[in-house]
Structure 1
């Protein structure tokens, strides 16, 4: 849902500066609310249908990792943060980093923990931002703050991100540095509690270097595409961290998704032999392909191992014996279809 609504928004404002139609922001707000609601009740649905499996956990966190990238992009477009590309870079990568660090803490402690101010509050804040942009237009965020006449209103969202992000990181790393549940305070896989920082660094550091070293200003000219490429690369690494926690295995440092950023790095190393925009497009396509390929492989492996279907819940008959008013027996068979229950009756006298 968030991918579709954000892509519509990106179509009208690919540089996070243009005034997109106001209905697109309301659509993003509605899409995010629907996503949040469905994300909150999927666990209840799984328990109701007796279909709770590691596959559901992976699907949940996998969708969240991708959604985080697109929600961050849509929020930046809503406040026209493209006029301040450095802060847009910070805002988006702060969101993806916080998501990764939350699962880093899970990899260490074995438990996914939520703070008093966490992802739900962040989502409601972004919904509020979209509603404001939908009613008054995104240009309202360019209004100067009365007490600080040099700063536009959009920097209030940046300040909120800094404060809330700092509190979240403090809470996360308080758990990480306390020690893990593994042997000698290690992770669930028996590795160093600091080991997950390496795969994340292999994405974030190249993103910063390529942005700063670009003579063609590839990020400033195409901020949404750039963040999408490196954001989805971070999502892939985060998914591998989730799988490492589920399987209690060591997480490999290098990942095939890094081939995309390497393309941009080598192009800069050889003095921009190819236009950076085309290399960035190729990088984005590779990252999307690699993420989809990995997700498909992992899901099918889990399905094969657990002997379950990916998008189908099998029918299960639950026989129930009842008596009607006449005292005769009614054998009822409740069929669980995953979305509703149907009942067939056979009367016995």
Structure 2
């Protein structure tokens, strides 16, 4: 554990405790290794409504679990009410993205703002030299500073959701579980006699009840439920929809329209301004290039210059459930972009494109949110 944290025994480390098994084991192992551990838990949304929700985090029962775990470990524990910040920076952003016709990733935004920006400031105020989390990623020292790498357990890797971590943040962060498989972590929890050893993992989006995201959006942005046309790529109007926020790129189910050819139709584009859902054949979903916004770079600065010149070879990951594919970091009209060697399907604006190094496929070079997708045909 000392090697994983890389700090002298006795150093103060803040452990971000969500109430789940991963963050609890992180705090327990740090304390056992002799660090001065302070547990901090964030209340992020309405705890009253979330107490009975299984597989959530940062509310209700999870806060109680974190408090009890800290007491059992023997470390001080603080609960910070970040509900208003979370609503503004994550939930409101989530609703606005769907209103623009995008497919957002609130977990990335949460890590980027509330957890790795605001909470890091709290950790420094508490006199900590580092903050540790239960994320499954690895932080490794490189010749030019710390690097972010994929977790040893590929099935648990969370690097896709942490691409927006800045160099400064990475210097302060530690991820003690990044080299461990999940079964080993649960085994450690049992060995340490932690009550959360068998607690289910967090699932889906924490603040979305029963996975029905449009329930949140309809309440915050009711205009997203305004009806509009479902239009074929060739210009034909095929039917009506009940709001653009109910559709995502690549969706097939629930369209209830036919193109007259007997071939299945998929959502290929969402024109939020015109309240149109554009549909077409599956091959229309293939993307050969994409542009990025809010990009974050953790690799060598020279690579950006290479991108402006001949391009820099990268491995691009456009969905958390997909493996990275070869491509080139380049510029399109002065904007950071990625050209894919082989077209990818169902690339959606609002999702992330995370870039890895071909010479070291576990290393995260950076990434950004997808702004536009250039279709292959």
Q: Which structure would you say has the larger RCO, counting Cα contacts within 8 Å and 6 or more residues apart?
A: 1
Do both share a fold (TM > 0.5)?
Answer: no
The structure whose residues are more often strand, as a share, is: 2
Q: Which has the higher helix share?
A: 1
Decide which structure has the larger Cα Rg and report it: 1
TM range, smaller chain: under 0.3
